[in-house]
Structure 1
Amino acid sequence: MFAYIVRRLLHTVPVVIVGSFATFLMVSAAGDPLGDLKAKQPPVSPAVLAAETHRLRLDEPLHLRYWHWLSGIVRGDWGPSVSRIDIGHEIGQRVLVSVRLVAFAMIVAVLLALVVGLVSAVRRYSVIDYGFTFLGFLMLSMPAFWLAILLKQQAIDVNDAVGVSLFYTVGDSSIPAPTGFADTVRDVLGHLVLPTIVLAMTAFAPWSRYVRSSIIEVLQSDYVRLARAKGLGRRTVLVRHALRTALIPLTTVVGLDLAVLFSGAVVTETVFQWRGMGSFLLTAVRERDVYAVMGWLLVVSLIVILFNLIADLLYAVLDPRIRLA
Structure 2
Amino acid sequence: MVVFFVKRLVSSLLVVLVSSLIMYVLVDIAIDPLADLRTSTAVNKAQQIANRTAQLRLDDPVILRYLDWLKGASGCLVGSCDLGTNWRTNQQVTSLLSGAVTTTIQLVAVATVLSIVLGVMVGIVSALRQYSGFDYSITFLSFLLYSLPVFWVAVLAKVFLAIDLNNFLAVPDPRLSWTVVAVVALFAGLVVSSALAGQGRRRLRNFAIAAVATAALLTYLNLSNWFKTPSIGIALIAVSSVGWAFVMTILSTGLRNRRALYSALSVAALGVVLWLPMLYVWIYARSAGILGWPLVIGLFLVGLAVSAGIGLAWGGPDRAQSARTAALTAVPVSMMLFVDRLLQSWGAYNSNQAIKGRPIATLGRATPNLVGDFWIQTIDVLTHLMLPTATLILISFAAYTRYSRASMLEVMNADYIRTARSKGLTERTVIMRHAFRNALLPLASIVPIDIITLLGGAVLTETVFGWFGMGRLFVVSLGDNQQYPVMAYIIIVGILAVIANVVADLIYAVLDPRIRVAA
Structure of higher CA gyration radius: 2
Q: Give deviations 1:82-135, integer Å, cap 9, x for gaps.
A: 423211111112101102222222111111221121011101111111111111
Structure 1 residues 238-247 or 182-191, which shifts more? 182-191
Instruction: Please state how far the C-alpha of 1:61 moved relative to its aligned partner.
Output: 0.7
Say if 2:444 and 2:504, in contact at 8 Å, map to a contact too: yes
| Match of residue 215, structure 1, among 401, 408, 427 | 408
Secondary structure at 2:30's aligned position in 1? coil
- Residue equivalent to 1:240: 433
The answer on whether the counterparts of 1:37 and 1:44 sit within 8 Å (CA) in structure 2 is no
Q: What do residues 144-166 of structure 1 show as CA deviations (whole Å, max 9, x unaligned)?
A: 11111111122123213432324
| 1:158 counterpart residue number | 165
1:33-69 Cα deviation digits (max 9, x unpaired): 1201332333544333222112222111111111111
Give, in whole Å, the separation in 1 of the partners of 2:157 and 2:101.
Answer: 24
- Verify: 1:204 aligned to 2:204, yes or no: no
Structure 1 CA distance, aligned partners of 2:383 and 2:418? 46
Aligned residue pairs: how many? Answer: 325
Q: Is the 8 A contact 1:55 1:80 kept in 2?
A: no
Paired position in structure 2 for 1:124 = 130
Residues 151 and 91 (structure 1 numbering): CA distance in 2 closer, same or farther, change over 3 Å? same
Runs of 4+ residues over 4 Å off in structure 1: none
In the TM superposition, what are the counterparts of 1:136-147 in structure 2 within 5 Å?
Answer: 136-147=142-153
Q: Provide the C-alpha distance between the structure 2 equivalents of 1:140 and 1:263, rounded to a whole number of angstroms.
A: 20
Aligned to 1:69: 69
1:271 lines up with 2:464 in the alignment: yes
Distance 2:403 2:44 in 1: 58
Go from structure 1 to structure 2 and tell me whether the alpha carbon gap of 1:315 and 1:44 turns closer, same or farther (over 3 Å shift): farther
Question: Equivalents in 1 of 2:108, 2:494: separation in Å?
Answer: 14
Q: Distance in 2 between matches of 1:7 and 1:294?
A: 26
CA distance in 1 between partners of 2:39 and 2:450 (Å): 40
Cα RMSD (Å): 1.9
Q: Structure 2 CA distance, aligned partners of 1:130 and 1:98?
A: 35
- The 8 Å contact of residues 505 and 517 in structure 2, kept in 1 or not, is answered as no
1:23 corresponds in structure 2 to 23
Counterparts of 1:144 and 1:243, CA distance in 2: 31
- Counterpart mapping for 1:59-138 below 5 A: 59-75=59-75, 76-84=81-89, 85-138=91-144
CA deviation digits over 1:269-322, x for unaligned, max 9?
A: 111101222221221011121111111111222223223322221112111111
Could you tell me how far apart the structure 1 residues matched to 2:116 and 2:377 are? Answer: 26
Q: How far did residue 185 of structure 1 move?
A: 2.9
Q: Which residue of 1 aligns with 2:10?
A: 10
- Change beyond 3 A, Cα 1:157–1:57: farther
Identity %: 41
Which is further off, 11-20 or 98-107?
98-107
| C-alpha distance in structure 2 between counterparts of 1:172 and 1:145, whole Å | 18
**Paired residues for 1:176-325 under 5 Å:** 176=369, 178-262=371-455, 265-325=458-518
Contact 2:119 2:398 in 1 (8 A): yes
CA gap of 1:45–1:7, structure 2 versus 1, over 3 A, is: same
Shift in alpha-carbon separation, 1:43–1:222, aligned structure 2, 3 A: farther
When the two structures are superposed, what TM-score results if normalisation uses the length of structure 1? 0.93
